[in-house]
Structure 1
Amino acid sequence: MTRFASRWILACVAVLTIAAADVSPALANWLKVRDAAMTLRERGRSQEAYELVAQTGVTTVAHEVDRSFIAGFLALRVLGRHDLALAHFKNMAVMTARLRPSDDPAGHRAMAGYWLGRTLQVMGQADEAKTLYTTAAMYRNTFYGLLAASQAGLSDTRAAIAPAAPAYPRPQLFWHDPRMNSELVLAIIKTESNFRTTAVSSAGALGDMQLMPGTVKAISRKTGVPLDPRMVASNRNYNVAVGSHHFADLLAKYAGNVTLAAAAYNAGSGASDGWIARFGDPRTNSIDIVDWIELIPFRETRGYVKKVVSNYVAYLSTGTSSVTASAR
Structure 2
Amino acid sequence: MRHLAHIIVLTVWLACLASSASATNGILLSEADRTLYTAAFEQLEARRFETARETAAKATNALPAKVIYWLDLTREKTEADFAELARFIEENPDWPRQRNLLRNAERAMPADLSDSDLLAWFEARPPVTTDGALRYAEALKRAGKDNQAATLLREVWIEFKLTTKQEKTFLKQYGKLLRKDDHIDRLDRLLWQRSARAARRQARRIGNGYVQLAEARLLLAFRRPGVDRAVRKVPGKLREDPGFIYDRARWRRRKGRQQGVIALLDPPRPDAPHPEVWWPLRHWAARGALDRRDFEVAYRLASHHGFEKGLGFAEGEWLAGWIALRFVKDPDRAYDHFVQLFDGVSTPVSRARGAYWAGEAARSKGDEEQAEHWYRLAAKHISTFYGQLASKRLGQPLATTLPRPIEPQPEDRQDFARQELVQVVRLLGQIGQKNVQRRFLDRLRKMATTTSDFWLTAELALEQGRPDRALRTAKEARRSGLILPDHLYPLPNLPHDDAMDLTLLFAVIRQESQFYNEVVSGAGARGLMQLMPATAKRVARKLKIPYRRSKLTQDPAYNMRLGVAYLTQMLDRYQGSRLLALAAYNAGPRRVDRWIKRFGDPRKPGVDPVDWAERIPFGETRNYVQRILEAVPIYDLRMASGQVDLPLDWATAGFPQPN
Q: Normalising by structure 2, what TM-score?
A: 0.43
Change in 2 beyond 3 A, CA 1:42/1:232? same
Paired residues for 1:275-294 under 5 Å: 275-294=595-614
CA distance in 1 between partners of 2:610 and 2:276 (Å): 24
Measured against aligned partners, the alpha-carbon deviations of 1:46-97 in whole angstroms (never above 9, x if no partner) come to 1221122224433653212211111110010111111110111111111114
1:47 aligns with 2:296: yes
Q: Contact conserved, 1:140 with 1:161, CA < 8 A, in 2?
A: no
- The equivalent of 1:315 in structure 2 is 635
SS of match in other structure, 1:155: coil
Paired residues for 1:13-92 under 5 Å: 16-17=253-254, 26-58=275-307, 60-92=309-341
Worse-superposed segment, 58-67 or 46-55: 58-67
Change in 2 beyond 3 A, CA 1:91/1:179? closer
CA distance in 2 between partners of 1:144 and 1:223 (Å): 38
1:191 aligns with 2:191: no
Q: Which of residues 344, 360, 363 is equivalent to 1:95? A: 344
CA drift of 1:45 comes to 1.1
1:296 aligns with 2:616: yes
Change in 2 beyond 3 A, CA 1:72/1:274? same
1:211 aligns with 2:460: no
Measured against aligned partners, the alpha-carbon deviations of 1:117-172 in whole angstroms (never above 9, x if no partner) come to 11111111112211211111111111111111111122243434677531222236
Q: Contact conserved, 1:187 with 1:312, CA < 8 A, in 2?
A: yes
- The equivalent of 2:91 in structure 1 is none
Q: Which amino acid aligns with 1:111?
A: R
- The equivalent of 1:142 in structure 2 is 384
- The equivalent of 1:159 in structure 2 is 401
Instruction: Name stretches of at least 5 consecutive residues in structure 1 with no aligned partner.
Output: 1-12, 18-24, 98-104
SS of match in other structure, 2:550: helix
Q: Contact conserved, 2:338 with 2:354, CA < 8 A, in 1?
A: yes
CA distance in 1 between partners of 2:370 and 2:499 (Å): 42
- The equivalent of 2:50 in structure 1 is none
CA distance in 2 between partners of 1:180 and 1:128 (Å): 34
CA distance in 2 between partners of 1:154 and 1:108 (Å): 21
- The equivalent of 1:234 in structure 2 is 554
CA distance in 1 between partners of 2:290 and 2:501 (Å): 38
CA distance in 2 between partners of 1:211 and 1:173 (Å): 24
- The equivalent of 1:168 in structure 2 is 489
User: How many residues of Structure 1 are paired with residues of Structure 2 in the alignment?
Assistant: 301
Q: Which amino acid aligns with 1:147?
A: L
- The equivalent of 1:8 in structure 2 is none
The share of aligned pairs that are identical, in percent, is 33
CA distance in 2 between partners of 1:205 and 1:173 (Å): 27
CA drift of 1:14 comes to 11
CA distance in 1 between partners of 2:578 and 2:349 (Å): 20
- The equivalent of 2:540 in structure 1 is 220
Change in 2 beyond 3 A, CA 1:204/1:118? same
- The equivalent of 1:20 in structure 2 is none
CA distance in 2 between partners of 1:95 and 1:15 (Å): 33
Q: Contact conserved, 1:173 with 1:182, CA < 8 A, in 2?
A: no
Q: Which amino acid aligns with 1:169?
A: P
Q: Normalising by structure 1, what TM-score?
A: 0.84
CA distance in 2 between partners of 1:179 and 1:316 (Å): 7
CA distance in 2 between partners of 1:325 and 1:15 (Å): 43
Larger gyration radius, structure 1 or structure 2 = 2
CA drift of 1:224 comes to 3.2
Instruction: Name stretches of at least 5 consecutive residues in structure 2 with no aligned partner.
Output: 1-249, 255-273, 405-482, 652-659
SS of match in other structure, 2:286: helix
Q: Which of residues 324, 339, 355 is equivalent to 1:113? A: 355
CA distance in 2 between partners of 1:310 and 1:26 (Å): 30
Q: Contact conserved, 1:158 with 1:323, CA < 8 A, in 2?
A: no
CA distance in 1 between partners of 2:542 and 2:368 (Å): 52
CA drift of 1:284 comes to 0.6
- The equivalent of 1:324 in structure 2 is 646
Change in 2 beyond 3 A, CA 1:65/1:180? closer
- The equivalent of 2:165 in structure 1 is none
CA distance in 2 between partners of 1:220 and 1:16 (Å): 38
